[in-house]
Structure 1
Amino acid sequence: MSKNDFDICEFEKRHSRVRSEMEKSGIDLL
């Protein structure tokens, strides 16, 4: 796995966690 793929994986995990936090707070930016 290249470093770029790893960075994308980390970004996806961080993004999904942020989205779940926002959804729990009743905030939906979409």
Structure 2
Amino acid sequence: DNYPPLAELLDELQNMRDIDARISKERALSAA
């Protein structure tokens, strides 16, 4: 089986959270 290492998956998850947070912040700023 050829799964990516767990560290890589956690890295991806962190990236997605960072992007999500940035989008939320921009939405809040443009809504204000």
Q: Name stretches of at least 5 consecutive residues in structure 2 with no aligned partner.
A: 1-5
What is the TM-score when the length of structure 1 is the normalising length? Answer: 0.76
Higher gyration radius (CA): 2
Identity of aligned residues (%): 11
Alpha-carbon RMSD: 1.8
> Which 4+ stretches in 1 moved above 3 angstroms?
none
Larger RCO, structures 1/2 (Cα 8 Å, 6+ apart) = 1
> In the comparison of the two structures, how many residue pairs are matched?
27
Compare the two structures and name the one with the higher helix fraction: 2
